[in-house]
Amino acid sequence: MSKEEIIEAKAKALHDHISSRPVDTYADKPWGLVKSTNESADESRMMTFKDAEIEDSRQQTENIQPAPKTIVEFGGYVGASAITWDAILREFNNADSSVDANVYTFELSSVSAGIAQDPTRLCDLENTAHVFEGPAADPPRKVFEEGNLKKTGVDIAFFDHWE
């Protein structure tokens, strides 16, 4: 099995684990999904957005004033970081539904991109955490051309690529 096949197999196993829970388990509970994802990922030695990185990201984000509203992430993998970033945006924008806060995550692997879309749906975040498949330059260009991203409208760019 190639390295990519192993990574995708672990992603599928994580997806099966998360999907096996009752539908309402993660509804509007992104931190619950992040915790469950990381517990499962730890057991299978997967690389996900773990507690130390989450806390560091939260601290760095807290220093941005006004509170960030748009995050672009390159390397979405299974969607854990997109869910985390969305939850952080909600916290720093006081969960104000009138604030147009969005996370745009871009994933090269079609398998991982497909898997990453489910957590956003499970947490009812599909309108704010957007998953796109493709090389780093293609999806952002599409999102920009559709008018969802402004030229100067990105508050944080997060690069979470495989070394």
pLDDT tens over the chain, length 163 residues = 888 888 888 888 888 888 888 878 888 889 988 888 888 888 878 777 888 889 999 999 988 988 898 999 988 888 889 999 999 998 888 765 556 888 999 888 888 888 888 888 888 888 889 998 887 777 777 777 877 776 667 889 888 765 5
CA–CA distance, 56 with 19 (Å, rounded to integer)? 29
Q: What is the count of structural domains for the chain?
A: 1
CA–CA distance, 14 with 44 (Å, rounded to integer)? 9
Query: Whole domain around residue 33: which residue ranges?
Result: 3-159
Strands ordered across the beta sheet of 129-133: 129-133, 102-107, 70-74, 156-159
User: Sign (positive/negative) of CA torsion 153, 156, 160, 163?
Assistant: positive
CATH number reported for the structural domain that contains residue 134 in this entry: 3.40.50.150
pTM for the predicted model, two decimal places: 0.86
